[in-house]
C-alpha cells in the first residue's frame, strides 16, 4: 500500500471516529438535557405534592375538623364512659349471656304456668269463648273494612 493510500485510510478512520464521537457526545448531551428536564418536572411534581400536603394539613387542622363535626354531624369528644377494654367487654358479654339465659328460663317457666292456667280456663269455658276473628263487613259505600271482633274470652285474658 502506497504511503498516500495509507494517509487517506488514516484520515478516513479519523473522520469516522470524529463523527462517531461527535454523534455520541450529541446523543449524551440530548439525554442529559432530557434528564435535567425530567428532574425539573419531578421537582415541580414534588412542589405540587408539598402544596397539596400543606393544604391537606390545613383542612385537617383539629379546630377545623372539630367545627365541621359539631356543625354537621352533631358529634362530641369521646367520653371516658365510651372506652372499654376487650377484656372487660368479654366479661360483660358473659354476664349479659348469663342474664339472658336466666331471663329466658324464667320466661319459659312463666309461659308454662300461664299455659296451664289458660288451658284450665279454656277447658271450663270452651263453649262460651270464641277466638279473635277479623271479618269483612261491607260498608254503605261498598268499601271493605277490617274489624276486630274482641271476644269475651279476650277480655277475660286481659284481666289476668
Partner 1 sequence: MNFIFNKDKHKHNKDDREQRYTQRATAKIIDKFAIQGNIKGAIESGRRRIKFLIAMVLCGFTILIWRAVDLMVLSHRVAPASSFSWGFKAPKKIGSILDRNDVVVAVNLPEQSLYVNSIEFLSQNESPEEAADKILSILPNLNKSKLMKKLTNHKSFTFIKKLITPMEAKKVLEYGIVGLHFKPDSKRIYPQNNLLSHVIGIRGVDGGGLQGVEKSFNDLMVNQGKDLQLSIDVRVQHILRSEIEKTVEKFNAKGGAGVIMDVKTGEVLGMSSYPDYDPNHYQNATSDQLFNRATKGLYEVGSVFKAFTMASALNSHTVQLDDIFDTSTPLKVGRFKIHDYEYFKYPLRVPEIFAHSSNIGTSKIALQMGTEIQKKYLKELGLLDKVDINLPEITKPMYPQGRRWTPLSTMTISFGHGIAVSPLHVAQALSSLVNGGYGIKATLLKQTKPQLDKRIFNQHTADTMRHLLRTVVTSGTGRKSEVRGYRIGAKTGTADVAAKGGYNRNARRTTLSSVFPMDNPKYAIVVMIDKPLGIKETHGYATAGWVVAPLVRNIISRLGPMMNIIPKYDVELKPQKTSKYYIRPFNWNKKMGQVTPRHNIHKKWYE
Secondary structure (H, E, C), 19-61: HHHHHHHHHHHHHHHHHHHHHHHHHHHHHHHHHHHHHHHHHCC
| CB-nearer residue toward partner 1: 76 or 160 | 76
Cell readout for 29 is 448531551
Site string for partner 1, 30-59 (x = CB under 8 A): --xx--xx-xx--x---x--xx-xxxxxx-
Q: Give the integer Cα–Cα distance in Å for 133 and 146.
A: 10
Give the Cβ contact number of residue 151 at 10 Å. 15
Dihedral angle, C-alpha 98, 103, 108, 109, nearest 10 °: 100
Q: Does 25 bind partner 1 (CB under 8 A)?
A: yes
Q: How far is the CB of 96 from partner 1 (least distance, A)?
A: 17
CB of 102 to partner 1, least distance (A): 22
Contact string (CB under 8 A) for partner 1, positions 92-131, x = contact: ----------------------------------------
Residues forming contacts to partner 1 in the complex (CB under 8 A) are 18, 21-22, 25-26, 29, 32-33, 36-37, 39-40, 43, 47, 50-51, 53-58, 60-63, 66, 77-85, 88
Amino acid at each position: 500500500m502506497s504511503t498516500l493510500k495509507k494517509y487517506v485510510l488514516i484520515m478516513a478512520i479519523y473522520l469516522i471516529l470524529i463523527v462517531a464521537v461527535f454523534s455520541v457526545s450529541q446523543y449524551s448531551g440530548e439525554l442529559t438535557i432530557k434528564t435535567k428536564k425530567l428532574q425539573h418536572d419531578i421537582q415541580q411534581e414534588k412542589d405540587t405534592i408539598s402544596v397539596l400536603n400543606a393544604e391537606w394539613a390545613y383542612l385537617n387542622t383539629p379546630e377545623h375538623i372539630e367545627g365541621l363535626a359539631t356543625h354537621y354531624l352533631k358529634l362530641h369528644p369521646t367520653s371516658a364512659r365510651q372506652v372499654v377494654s376487650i377484656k372487660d367487654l368479654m366479661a360483660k358479654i358473659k354476664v349479659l349471656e348469663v342474664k339472658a339465659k336466666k331471663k329466658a328460663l324464667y320466661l319459659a317457666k312463666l309461659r308454662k304456668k300461664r299455659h296451664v292456667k289458660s288451658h284450665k280456663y279454656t277447658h271450663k269455658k270452651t263453649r262460651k269463648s270464641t277466638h279473635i276473628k277479623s271479618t269483612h263487613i261491607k260498608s254503605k259505600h261498598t268499601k271493605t273494612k277490617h274489624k276486630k271482633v274482641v271476644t269475651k274470652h279476650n277480655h277475660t285474658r286481659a284481666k289476668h
